[in-house]
């Protein structure tokens, strides 16, 4: 890797993000002493058969980028030109993120189910994979049955933890013995790598003991004390290990490794880096939430004051290949409730299964678009519920909320994107909703490693679409009752007064970029989480101005189908006015 | 722009990998001609292990002391009751093998015995020639014939004579079309939306069931059928595409290999029908770029399953009637309707 962090400020950066469906490239360069996005482009990914090599997809994406920018990035032998040449061709730096590849099979091995095993399972949640076997001291199976279970589970990776610092060691070594036995039974070419995140006093001994059998990666203790969990360093190590496994699985990735200026990262981890970065910028008052609804997986990540609260990669669980797994965990009626027309369960099920077979296909009719968007809402709801259950994420109050994933960010209108995110996340308090329309956040997260200034400067360039500030009102008043008085005092003069009714969603009269002070007075017991009864704050209009969501939490849809459909149409219209891009 | 490819070809040279789930023995050699039912490789799956703690059995706490008592070595095959370790003397004590197995490991006074796993026979699944042997894992087979790739399969594979029950591309497979004379055949039916039809098909001991489309609520039942099931067009009421209908309805009474393997985009495995033919085909291209005059199949209502000719890829992005913006191609469907379809919704048929 070419690494020279001291003198990077004038470097151009090419970011490549290899997804399961699309490969995206983005070119950043310095203009007027600040990084700017020059252009981005995408092409179908070729990690899958028949290519089984990411190179072709990257080549096509870069060709598109060259056509847009006029800048030559690859030479006549199809090699990336690094560094930038005197004639302006090429780039100085390359960063790579990847989410392509089948979900990894993971084994979680810890001491106690509620302690180290729980932490190691959360660590497993952070990558695209699923835990296929768990072992702990409480396992009542005979040792040989535990070994057989581990072998038959065919894990790609074993995550091992246990023991606080200066804590248990004999029990940890007992679990290591089981793992060692299973590894030695397996043929050398099928032995999974091991990540050890337990008692550091044993780390060297465990590495030496297992190193002759398989590759062992060490991280700081994930559970240094019984009541403290520290995921940050293990997450970083695991991201690199996963990239290493992907390099063995996916053709062409290994060839990119020496060209990359920073270690190749999983897209989810790079996204999490950006969420962490923003949470540092926003301080320790509110957590920042990132959601990425992809074809094969869904990522939920939040951070507070620069520390990860959660990084949950649900896989397979998404809007394409991940649909069958998602459908297996939800009731179809939950999807149907979001449709603004009467539909049969059978038709919706057929449409979604067909979508899962061809994940890239777009809905061609209003009805099919509505079915996909209804499904996206419920997948987000379920993903957030599961994340709240597995991780220690308290509450639903986030600011900002970063939204990624084509179904959310490339809806037909910005109003649709806003409603999708609000219905799926149902946040509390006051949140700015931000769309990562070009899916750049993971790339910037990866690039931040070679230039920490880049994220700061990129956020000032408007590469994200800020839909606006949303005031989420929680109230149990009857539908139609006034629940909030709002006065907008515009900085450029004048003011507007509004009364918000229970059950409504309303756009406030604020132009994009227009600044105003909002004075709000809740009525009838309505509350905005994190704010006193009456409050005022400054707001700058987003693409949809500012929004008050007074539909309550959780959103309750009428049981009567006609009323429900009318209400859904009313809400859609309320956010659509002048909202087209 | 790169285009996904679906094969519906009357004659092609087809290469397919047949692999064991784990390491085993390949029983055929390169160049060997195999039949569809031939076992080409074998392995043992789900082998279990038994850990025999010699120290504990003999009541000797130090493992170094029991090692001299071992009467077996790593790699020895033991029968149940064979002696593993023995304390000599007038009152000799023994530790015996609890079951038949092979000694995998001996350390710390413990012996790990691997019990025989369940035998797994890998059959060729189609007639062909072994082009390559992958030691311990499987083979690459080659055959000439017609091929139709599908959308969904139930994971099973078999071969039988094709009986065509589908008289028109949009026909429905009903229970009254099935009878006992079809036992052992591969049936080509249309759309299936009734569980009773699948249950009766299962009772007939078919060698395969090929459907144009199927209601998605039948997936669990179809997955449980003992014969392979392949759904060509997908889920909902979707007629069989004209190229597939012409090819399959013209292949009645021919042997057809029905491979219901799950579609795996990463590996390229796909449910498919192969009809071996005594003629030499060409290897089909797995890679295509969208270009004029290609035959394409459309995904997405209201055009799902319809086949047409690509006229041109339109420059830039276009807004669809539902508001989405994307790259599109102009396509003439069934030589009649000229429509703009997103490139993401097209597959090249070839």
pLDDT digits (tens, 9 = 90+) for B211-234: 999 999 999 999 999 999 999 999
8 A C-beta contact, residue B151 and residue B172: no
Taking contacts as CB-CB distances below 8 angstroms, the residues of chain B near A360 are 344
Q: Kindly report, residue by residue over A133-165, the tens digit of the pLDDT.
A: 999 999 999 999 999 999 999 999 999 999 999
Model confidence band, residue A530 (pLDDT cutoffs 50, 70, 90)? confident
Quote the pLDDT of residue A5.
Answer: 42
Nearest to A362 among B104, B216, B345 (CB): B345
Domains of chain B, residue spans: 2-15+143-276, 49-114, 290-349
Domains B2-15+143-276 and B49-114 share a fold: no
The answer to whether the Cβ–Cβ distance between B235 and A185 falls below 8 Å is no
DSSP element (H, E) containing A151: helix A143-152
Mean pLDDT value across chain A = 92
Q: Distance (Å) from the C-alpha of residue A273 to the closest C-alpha of chain B?
A: 28
Domains of chain A, residue spans: 5-100, 104-249, 268-576
Question: Does residue B152 belong to the interface with chain A, where contact is any CB pair within 8 Å?
Answer: yes
Q: Distance (Å) from the C-alpha of residue B312 to the closest C-alpha of chain A?
A: 19
Q: Kindly report, residue by residue over A295-336, the tens digit of the pLDDT.
A: 999 999 999 999 899 999 999 999 999 999 999 999 999 999
Quote the pLDDT of residue A106.
Answer: 98
The answer to whether the Cβ–Cβ distance between B342 and A364 falls below 8 Å is yes
Q: Distance (Å) from the C-alpha of residue B161 to the closest C-alpha of chain A?
A: 28
| Pairing verdict, β B337-342 and B328-333 | antiparallel
CATH for A104-249 is 3.40.50.2300
Q: Distance (Å) from the C-alpha of residue B76 to the closest C-alpha of chain A?
A: 15
Q: Kindly report, residue by residue over B161-196, the tens digit of the pLDDT.
A: 999 999 999 999 999 999 999 999 999 999 999 999
Q: Which of residues 135-154 of A touch B (CB under 8 A)?
A: 142-144, 147-148, 151-152
Nearest to A144 among B2, B50, B326 (CB): B50
Nearest residue on chain A to B23, judged by CA atoms?
A: A187
Whether the full predicted model's pTM is greater than 0.90, yes or no, is yes
Quote the pLDDT of residue A392.
Answer: 73
The answer to whether the Cβ–Cβ distance between B287 and A51 falls below 8 Å is yes
Residues A421-438 have a mean pLDDT of 95
CATH for B290-349 is 2.30.30.30
The answer to whether the Cβ–Cβ distance between A362 and B326 falls below 8 Å is yes
Q: Is the pLDDT of residue A368 over 60?
A: yes
Give domain B2-15+143-276's CATH architecture: 3-Layer(bba) Sandwich (3.50)
The answer to whether the Cβ–Cβ distance between B299 and A43 falls below 8 Å is no
Closest alpha carbon to B209 in B141, B260, B169, B281: B260
Quote the pLDDT of residue A271.
Answer: 96
The answer to whether the Cβ–Cβ distance between B300 and A363 falls below 8 Å is yes
Question: Does residue B216 belong to the interface with chain A, where contact is any CB pair within 8 Å?
Answer: yes
Per residue, the 3-state secondary structure of chain B, as one string, reads CEECEECEEEEEEEEEEEECCCCCEECCCCCCEECCCCEEEEEEECCCEEEEEHHHHHCCCCHHHHHHHECCCCCCEECCCCEEEEECCCCCEEEECCCCEEEEEEECCEEEEECCCEEEEEECCCCEEEEEEECCCEEEEEEEEEEEECCEECCCEEEEEEEECCCCCCCECCHHHCCHHHCCEEEECCEECCHHHHHHHHHCCCCEEEEEEECHHHHHHHHHCCCCEEEEEEECCCCCCHHHHHHHHCCCCCEEEEECCCCCCCCCCCCEEEEECCCCCCCCCCCEECCCCCEEEECCCCCCCCEEEEEEECCCCEECCCCCEECEEEEEECCCEEEEEEHHHEEEEC
Q: Kindly report, residue by residue over A541-554, the tens digit of the pLDDT.
A: 999 999 999 999 99
8 A C-beta contact, residue A133 and residue A110: no
Q: Kindly report, residue by residue over B277-328, the tens digit of the pLDDT.
A: 999 999 999 999 999 999 999 999 999 999 999 999 999 999 999 999 999 9
Q: Which residues are paired to B341 by β-bridges?
A: B329
Q: Is the pLDDT of residue A181 over 50?
A: yes
Q: Kindly report, residue by residue over A60-85, the tens digit of the pLDDT.
A: 999 999 999 999 999 999 899 999 99
Quote the pLDDT of residue B323.
Answer: 95
Percentage of the residues of chain B whose pLDDT score is greater than 90? 88
Question: Does residue B70 belong to the interface with chain A, where contact is any CB pair within 8 Å?
Answer: no
* Dihedral sign of CA atoms B243, B249, B255, B260 in order: positive
Q: Which residues are paired to B70 by β-bridges?
A: B85
Model confidence band, residue A4 (pLDDT cutoffs 50, 70, 90)? very low
The answer to whether the Cβ–Cβ distance between A57 and B2 falls below 8 Å is yes
Least reliable range by pLDDT among A198-207, A217-226, A484-493, B87-96: B87-96
Quote the pLDDT of residue A10.
Answer: 63
Percentage of the residues of chain B whose pLDDT score is greater than 70? 100
Find out if CATH 3.30.420.40 is the number for domain A5-100.
yes
Quote the pLDDT of residue A577.
Answer: 61
Q: Is the pLDDT of residue B151 over 50?
A: yes
How many Cβ pairs closer than 8 A exist between chain A and B?
138
Residues A18-42 have a mean pLDDT of 91
Q: Kindly report, residue by residue over A459-493, the tens digit of the pLDDT.
A: 777 789 999 999 999 998 999 999 999 999 999 99
Mean pLDDT value across chain B = 95
Quote the pLDDT of residue A451.
Answer: 83
Taking contacts as CB-CB distances below 8 angstroms, the residues of chain A near B342 are 361-362, 364
Q: Which of residues 38-67 of A touch B (CB under 8 A)?
A: 43-44, 46-52, 56-57, 60
Q: Distance (Å) from the C-alpha of residue A412 to the closest C-alpha of chain B?
A: 4
Per the rule left: phi > 0, alpha: psi between -120 and 50, beta: everything else, B131 is: alpha
Q: B49-114 adopts what CATH topology?
A: OB fold (Dihydrolipoamide Acetyltransferase, E2P) (2.40.50)
């Amino acid at each position: 890797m070419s690494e020279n962090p001291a003198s990077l400020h004038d470097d151009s950066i090419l970011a490549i993000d290899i997804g399961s469906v699309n490969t995206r490239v983005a070119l950043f360069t310095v203009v007027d002493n600040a990084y700017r996005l020059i252009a981005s482009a995408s092409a179908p990914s070729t990690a899958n058969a028949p290519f089984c090599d990411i190179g072709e997809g990257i080549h096509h994406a870069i060709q598109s980028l060259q056509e847009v920018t006029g800048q030559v990035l690859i030479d006549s032998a199809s090699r990336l030109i690094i560094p930038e040449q005197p004639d302006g061709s090429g780039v100085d730096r390359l960063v790579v993120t990847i989410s392509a590849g089948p979900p990894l099979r993971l084994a979680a091995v810890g001491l106690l189910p509620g302690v180290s095993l729980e932490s190691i399972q959360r660590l497993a949640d952070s990558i695209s994979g699923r835990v296929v076997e768990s072992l702990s001291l409480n396992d009542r199976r005979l040792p040989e049955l535990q070994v057989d279970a581990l072998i038959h589970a065919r894990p790609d990776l074993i995550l091992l933890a246990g023991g606080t610092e200066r804590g248990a060691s004999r029990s940890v070594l007992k679990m290591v013995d089981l793992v060692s036995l299973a590894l030695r039974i397996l043929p050398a070419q099928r032995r999974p790598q091991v990540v050890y995140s337990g008692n550091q006093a044993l780390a060297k001994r465990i590495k030496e003991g297992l190193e002759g059998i398989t590759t062992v990666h060490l991280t700081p203790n994930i559970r240094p004390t019984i009541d403290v969990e520290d995921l940050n360093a293990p997450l970083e190590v695991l991201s690199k290990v996963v990239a290493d496994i992907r390099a063995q699985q996916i053709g062409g990735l290994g060839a990119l490794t020496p060209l990359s200026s920073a270690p190749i990262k999983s897209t989810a981890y790079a996204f999490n880096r950006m969420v962490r970065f923003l949470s540092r910028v926003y301080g320790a008052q509110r957590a920042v939430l990132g959601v990425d609804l992809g074809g094969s997986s869904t990522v939920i990540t939040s951070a507070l004051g620069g520390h990860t609260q959660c990084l949950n990669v649900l896989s397979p669980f998404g809007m394409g290949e991940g649909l069958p797994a998602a459908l297996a965990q939800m009731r179809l009626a939950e999807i149907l409730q979001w449709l603004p027309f009467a539909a049969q369960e059978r038709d919706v099920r057929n449409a979604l299964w067909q979508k899962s077979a061809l994940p890239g296909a777009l809905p061609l009719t209003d009805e099919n678009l509505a079915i996909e968007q209804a499904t996206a809402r419920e997948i987000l709801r379920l993903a957030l519920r599961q994340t709240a259950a597995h991780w220690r994420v308290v509450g639903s109050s986030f600011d900002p909320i970063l939204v990624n994933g084509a179904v959310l960010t490339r809806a037909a209108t910005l109003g649709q994107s806003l409603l999708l995110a609000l219905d799926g996340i149902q946040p509390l308090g006051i949140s700015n909703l931000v769309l990562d329309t070009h899916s750049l956040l993971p790339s910037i997260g990866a690039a931040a490693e070679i230039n920490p200034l880049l994220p700061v400067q990129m956020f000032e360039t408007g590469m994200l679409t800020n839909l606006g500030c949303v005031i989420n009102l929680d109230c149990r008043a009857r539908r139609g009752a006034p629940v909030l008085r709002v006065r907008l005092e515009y900085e450029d003069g004048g003011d507007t007064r509004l009364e918000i009714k229970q059950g409504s969603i309303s756009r406030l009269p604020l132009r994009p970029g227009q600044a105003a002070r909002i004075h709000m007075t809740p009525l009838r017991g309505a509350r905005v989480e994190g704010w006193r009864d009456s409050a005022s704050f400054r707001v700058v209009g987003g693409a949809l101005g500012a929004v008050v969501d007074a539909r309550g939490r959780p959103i309750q849809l009428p049981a009567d189908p006609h009323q429900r459909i009318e209400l859904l149409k009313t809400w859609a219209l309320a956010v659509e006015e002048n909202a087209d891009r | 722009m790169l285009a996904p490819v679906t094969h519906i070809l009357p004659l092609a040279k087809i290469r397919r990998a047949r692999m064991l789930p784990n390491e085993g023995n390949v029983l055929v050699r390169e160049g060997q001609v195999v039949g569809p039912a031939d076992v080409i490789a074998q392995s043992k799956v789900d082998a279990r292990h038994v850990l025999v703690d010699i120290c504990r059995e003999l009541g000797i706490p130090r493992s170094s002391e029991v090692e001299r008592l071992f009467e077996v070595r790593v790699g020895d095959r033991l029968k149940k009751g064979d002696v593993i370790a023995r304390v000599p003397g007038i009152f000799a004590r023994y530790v015996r093998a609890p079951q038949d197995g092979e000694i995998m490991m001996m350390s710390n006074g413990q012996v790990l015995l691997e019990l025989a796993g369940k035998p797994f026979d890998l059959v060729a699944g189609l007639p062909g020639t072994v082009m390559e042997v992958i030691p311990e894992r499987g083979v690459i087979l080659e055959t000439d014939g017609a091929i139709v790739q599908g959308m969904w399969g139930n994971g099973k594979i078999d071969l039988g004579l094709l009986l065509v029950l589908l008289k028109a591309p949009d026909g429905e497979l009903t229970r009254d079309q099935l009878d006992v004379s079809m036992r052992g055949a591969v049936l080509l039916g249309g759309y299936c939306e009734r569980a009773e039809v699948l249950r009766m098909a299962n009772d007939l001991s078919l060698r395969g069931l090929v459907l144009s489309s199927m209601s998605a609520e039948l997936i669990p039942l179809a997955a449980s059928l003992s014969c392979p099931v392949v759904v060509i067009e997908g889920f909902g009421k979707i007629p069989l595409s004209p190229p597939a209908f012409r090819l399959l309805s013209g292949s009645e009474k021919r042997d057809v290999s029905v491979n219901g393997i799950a579609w795996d985009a990463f590996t390229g495995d796909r449910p498919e029908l192969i009809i071996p033919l005594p003629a030499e085909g060409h290897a089909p291209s797995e890679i295509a770029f969208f270009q004029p005059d290609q035959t394409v199949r459309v995904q997405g209502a209201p055009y799902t399953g319809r086949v047409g000719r690509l006229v041109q890829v339109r420059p830039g992005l276009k807004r669809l009637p539902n508001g989405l913006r994307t790259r599109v191609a102009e396509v003439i469907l069934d030589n009649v309707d000229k429509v703009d379809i997103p490139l993401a919704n097209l597959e090249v048929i070839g």
